[in-house]
């Protein structure tokens, strides 16, 4: 089978799976899977840029996704004027001071003679830290005191939420620049551990800094790019059209909103996919692959490997950030407590590896396929377990335990899929040409 036919048939399979879900379960479920599948595909594209193009082992995906989510809050929520008046400027000033401290320390590292360097840096950092805390803490306390049950944070810019998607990419790119500057020189497994840790730190900051996005109190009710279901149901024109299609208004409104998100996400995915394909086949993409396959040779040919790595690290992270903003928009809420590395880092990696690293279509396919399985393993597991436990007594302890544990089968399944694909299709379902 040629590469094209293979790609086409796998995507046809995805279509069948999702449409099948629509017929067997419900169209709402099918659209839910489709929407998160689109978001997952974008994330997988980002990871594929880094791993598939350049061989960078970034397991901090969760951090960038979360930053994208943060951007959605910062862009779309209305600003809290009182909080800004109470302590907003103080916080901004403190952050500037903190950044100045770090810049000064970096300058000291470069400029101060070696004998004094250690002491100078230590002095700058210690003094800077205490000054920062002295300015920062009262500001935070003041902001968090303003109506903590509803706001207690600075709020956002009050701009349309769609703007948050590129902004999520920008925010993630900024973080990736800082991280890449420090950590990209590390060898592959060190980079992995470093990024894993940085992602944890980003989540810790988001959980902890209530003034920023309410921390674990969560921001809910983000503005939506689409109308609310209840407004649609009260709109006579919409009800009439729904009736024309033979749908009751409630179902029609939920389907309409989900389809709307699907269209938005599909547009983003298609744009990114086209760009990624163009990049892959451009001289720049060939250079990336050359660096990936033999760094020393590429360096000898005069390629600036460090710079290229930084570029692609930022690009890939920006794509993940964009996906994060899309996901938060879809959920209409930011819940920092729900970010877990298994779900937001390693699952994305499973998608890329299973789909085929180095192949953009492979990554997209992996995103859809793995997300479909992630959602559907549970109902399948319940069915399987009911068959297995059918012969057991109603009140047997083992039966209840087995039925209760079904929810944990998805991790097991994902692991098995990853191991099997790595063993028998090490280049993924849609291998790189």
If the CB atoms of residues 55 and 88 are measured against another protein, the closer one turns out to be 55
If the CB atoms of residues 190 and 228 are measured against another protein, the closer one turns out to be 190
Question: CB 49 → another protein: shortest distance, Å?
Answer: 17
Q: Which among 390, 72, 44, 401 is positioned nearest to 219, based on CA atoms? A: 72
Q: 191 with 49: CB under 8 angstroms?
A: no
**Residue 389: how many CB atoms within 10 A of its CB?**
17
419 near another protein, judged by CB under 8 A: yes
378 near another protein, judged by CB under 8 A: no
Question: Binder to another protein among 27, 346, 372, 374 (CB under 8 A)?
Answer: 346
Question: CB 405 → another protein: shortest distance, Å?
Answer: 5
Q: 88 with 143: CB under 8 angstroms?
A: yes
Q: What track of x and - describes contact with another protein for positions 196 through 235 (by CB under 8 A)? A: xxx-xx--xx-xx---------------------------
411 near another protein, judged by CB under 8 A: yes
What are the two backbone dihedrals, phi and then psi, of residue 396, each rounded to the nearest 5 degrees? -70, 140
If the CB atoms of residues 204 and 230 are measured against another protein, the closer one turns out to be 204
The residues that bridge with 220 in the sheet, in sequence order, are 333
Q: Is 260 exposed, middle or buried (0-12, 13-18, 19+ CB in 10 A)?
A: middle
Helix, strand, coil % in the chain, rounded to nearest 5: 80, 0, 20
192 near another protein, judged by CB under 8 A: yes
**Residue 50: how many CB atoms within 10 A of its CB?**
26
118 near another protein, judged by CB under 8 A: no
15 near another protein, judged by CB under 8 A: no
Q: Is 417 exposed, middle or buried (0-12, 13-18, 19+ CB in 10 A)?
A: middle
Q: Rounded CA gap, 387 and 79, in Å?
A: 54
Q: Rounded CA gap, 363 and 273, in Å?
A: 10
Segment 27 to 86, residues that bind another protein, using CB under 8 A:
55, 57
135 near another protein, judged by CB under 8 A: no
194 near another protein, judged by CB under 8 A: yes
Q: 198 with 63: CB under 8 angstroms?
A: yes
116 near another protein, judged by CB under 8 A: no
If the CB atoms of residues 119 and 228 are measured against another protein, the closer one turns out to be 119
108 near another protein, judged by CB under 8 A: no
Say how many residues touch another protein, by CB under 8 A: 45
Residues of the shown chain interacting with another protein in the complex, contacts defined by CB under 8 A: 55, 57, 129, 182-183, 186-190, 192-194, 196-198, 200-201, 204-205, 207-208, 340-342, 346, 349-350, 353, 404-405, 408-416, 418-419, 422-423, 426
């Amino acid at each position: 089978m040629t590469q094209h036919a293979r790609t086409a048939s796998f995507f046809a399979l995805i279509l069948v799976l999702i449409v099948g879900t629509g017929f067997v379960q419900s169209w709402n479920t099918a659209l839910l899977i489709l929407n998160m599948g689109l978001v997952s595909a974008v994330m997988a594209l980002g990871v594929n840029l880094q791993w598939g193009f350049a061989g960078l082992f970034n397991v901090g995906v969760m951090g960038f996704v979360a930053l994208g989510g943060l951007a959605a809050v910062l862009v779309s929520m209305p600003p809290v004027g009182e909080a800004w008046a109470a302590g907003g400027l103080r916080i901004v000033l403190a952050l500037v001071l903190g950044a100045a401290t770090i810049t000064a320390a970096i300058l000291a590292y470069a400029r101060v003679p070696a004998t004094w360097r250690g002491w100078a840096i230590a002095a700058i950092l210690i003094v800077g830290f205490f000054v920062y805390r002295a300015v920062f803490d009262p500001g935070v306390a003041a902001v968090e005191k303003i109506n903590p049950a509803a706001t207690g944070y600075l709020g956002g810019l009050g701009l349309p939420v769609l703007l948050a998607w590129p902004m999520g990419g920008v925010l993630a790119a900024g973080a990736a620049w800082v991280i890449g500057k420090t950590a990209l020189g590390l060898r592959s497994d060190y980079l992995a551990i470093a990024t894993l840790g940085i992602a944890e730190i980003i989540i810790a900051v988001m959980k902890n800094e209530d003034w920023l996005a309410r921390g674990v109190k969560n921001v809910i009710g983000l503005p939506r790019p689409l109308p609310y279901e209840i407004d649609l149901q009260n709109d006579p024109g919409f009800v009439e059209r729904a009736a024309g299609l033979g749908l009751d208004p409630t179902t029609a409104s939920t389907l309409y909103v989900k389809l709307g998100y699907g269209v938005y996400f599909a547009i983003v995915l298609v744009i990114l996919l086209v760009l990624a394909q163009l990049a892959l086949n451009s001289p720049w993409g060939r250079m990336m692959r050359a660096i990936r396959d033999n760094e020393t040779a590429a360096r000898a040919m005069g390629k600036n490997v460090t710079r290229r790595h930084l570029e692609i690290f930022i690009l890939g992270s920006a794509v993940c950030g964009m996906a994060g903003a899309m996901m938060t928009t879809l959920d209409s809420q930011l819940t920092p407590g729900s970010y877990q590395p298994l779900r937001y880092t390693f699952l994305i990696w499973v998608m890329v590896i299973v789909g085929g690293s180095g192949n953009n279509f492979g990554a997209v396919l992996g995103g859809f396929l793995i997300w479909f399985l992630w959602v559907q393993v549970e109902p399948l597991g319940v069915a399987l377990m009911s068959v297995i436990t059918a012969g057991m007594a109603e009140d047997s302890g083992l039966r209840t335990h087995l039925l209760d544990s079904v929810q944990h089968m998805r991790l097991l399944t994902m692991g098995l899929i990853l191991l099997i694909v790595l063993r028998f299709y090490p280049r993924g379902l849609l291998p790189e040409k």
